[in-house]
Amino acid sequence: MINIAVIGTGYVGLVSGACLADFGNMVTCIDNNSEKIDILQRGEIPIYEPGLDLIVERNTKAGRLHFTTDFEAAVTANNVLFIAVGTPPADDGSADLRYVKEVARKIGQVIESYTVVVDKSTVPVGTARKVYGWIKDELLIRGKDIPFDVVSNPEFLREGSAVQDFTHPDRVVIGLENERSRKIMKDIYRSLYLNETPFIETNLESAEMIKYASNSFLALKITFINEIANLCEKVGANVQDVAKAVGRDGRIGSKFLHPGPGYGGSCFPKDTQAMAQIGKDYGEHLSLVETTIEANKRQKIRMIEKIESGMGRHGSLSGKTIAILGLAFKQNTDDMRESPAILICEGLASKGAKLKVWDPAAMKEALWRFESIKDYVYFARDEYDAIENADALVILTPWNQFRNLDLPRIKKLLALPYFFDLRNIYKRNEIEEIGLIYFAIGK
């Protein structure tokens, strides 16, 4: 059994800590936010993530999972330290490493025996070596020659299915430099090794690059199908049939070929920006990544234009009421970071439209996100409250409960017959049959 401390109980840290405990390791999750640790110690979960509560409860009860604010005690008592602190974007789009650096230095200030330091946060290529240097500097100041290794072990967790992604990964990527740390990493992930999960062992830089390359490619794939969808609309093709057939080619694959209002979230926007910046730092122009970033922004703006031109027969957007279903950047999360809903709602409000918004999980975040347009926003109680007397209905997030709306009731509730299905979750004929005007993406 390995003793692990996970530093940072944000999204990645908490999911990783709980799942590592579920693999049979002894895990202590550390955070300097005492409020968060209090919540976790009470057995509550500070984030919305399906299944996480059960896994936290199970492992806390079994005595394998603990929470603390005491950094020094937890770091010295555990010989494997996962760094899972935030790497927010700096002004130039690069990842801000301030928290990683602070943690690395503090580790160097307190460790007393051999330690493996694992980078779990998404960090620019070269960071693991910097972490090594920061820890070494502190040890030199202390005049201590304590051995330690740095390992890069990027996460590939999707919000909403993070527990499943951690416990049943497509692959585990480990960047390391020697046998000693390799053996420990293998013990930590023993249950996955036994499950025959593919393990990709490589050097530190490759592991760091794999994370950015994966996220950039997925962002590019979505953006590609969004552009194809836009063209499909013009030429009379149906993007869903196109994506289905294209995706059947095993070299392409069917996942992440669903067009929509543009990707959002805390990862793709941030990581594509950081990737482009890493390219610049090394004198490489990553033109596809840069174009992806631009095209994704255009896609969001295009949605505002789509709604405006779609309703054109009834004049401008000024004074119109629009029901927005879905504010989170995707389903099964309460997260609105970089959600297309933000830019789209702001754009509609700036054109004088009144908004009636509803999301099954993100209403709390929407309250402060929409502070600047609050005079234009009504926070609804459910989907039908949002739709009542609205002139148009716009679906922005493909929550399951939006896939099965009571269509005749919607027809009665809407003042004008506009139905914008910006996630392609309905069929044209089922909407047109009840007398509504249907708009989708790419069909």
Number of alpha carbons in the 13 Å side-chain half-sphere of residue 9:
29
Cα separation of 45 and 30, whole Å? 15
Does the footprint of ligand UGA cover residue 156 (CB under 6 A)? yes
Minimal distance in Å, beta carbon 43 to ligand UGA? 25
Residue among 78, 122, 152, 332 that touches ligand UGA (CB under 6 A): 122
Q: Could you confirm whether 345 is annotated as catalytic?
A: no
| 255 versus 381: smaller Cβ distance to ligand UGA | 255
CB atoms within 10 A of CB 269: 22
Sign of CA dihedral 286, 287, 288, 289: positive
The count of residues in the chain is 443
Residue among 264, 326, 417, 442 that touches ligand UGA (CB under 6 A): 264
Does the footprint of ligand UGA cover residue 212 (CB under 6 A)? no
DSSP 149: E
CB atoms within 10 A of CB 407: 16
| Annotated active-site residue in 29, 232, 267, 345 | 267
Task: With residue 56 as reference, give the H or E element that holds it.
Answer: helix 52-61
Sign of CA dihedral 11, 14, 18, 20: positive
Residue among 66, 300, 330, 354 that touches ligand UGA (CB under 6 A): 330
Binding region = 31, 36, 87, 122, 156-159, 211, 256-260, 264, 270, 330, 337
Cα separation of 256 and 275, whole Å? 20
Does the footprint of ligand UGA cover residue 166 (CB under 6 A)? no
Residue among 132, 212, 263, 426 that touches ligand UGA (CB under 6 A): 263
What is the contact mask toward ligand UGA in residues 26 to 65, using x (rule: CB under 6 A)? ----------------------------------------
Residue among 258, 306, 320, 369 that touches ligand UGA (CB under 6 A): 258
3-state secondary structure of 151: strand
Sheet with 354-358, edge to edge strand ranges? 377-379, 354-358, 321-325, 392-395, 418-421, 437-439
Residue among 67, 268, 399, 420 that touches ligand UGA (CB under 6 A): 268
Residue among 22, 138, 149, 159 that touches ligand UGA (CB under 6 A): 159
CB-based contact 219:212 (threshold 8 Å): no
Minimal distance in Å, beta carbon 225 to ligand UGA? 7
Minimal distance in Å, beta carbon 442 to ligand UGA? 12
| Ramachandran assignment for 119, one of left (phi > 0), alpha (psi -120 to 50 degrees), beta (any other) | beta
Place of tokens 């230095």: 105
Q: Which stretch binds ligand UGA (CB under 6 A): 259-267, 349-357, 375-383, 429-437?
A: 259-267
| 181 versus 240: smaller Cβ distance to ligand UGA | 240
Which residues of 283-412 form beta strands (DSSP E)?
A: 321-325, 354-358, 377-379, 392-395
| 131 versus 157: smaller Cβ distance to ligand UGA | 157
Binding region for NAD(+) = 31, 36, 87, 122, 159, 270, 337
Minimal distance in Å, beta carbon 398 to ligand UGA? 7
Residues that bind ligand UGA (CB under 6 A): 122, 155-159, 215, 218, 222, 256-258, 260, 263-265, 267-268, 271, 329-330
| Residues marked as catalytic | 267
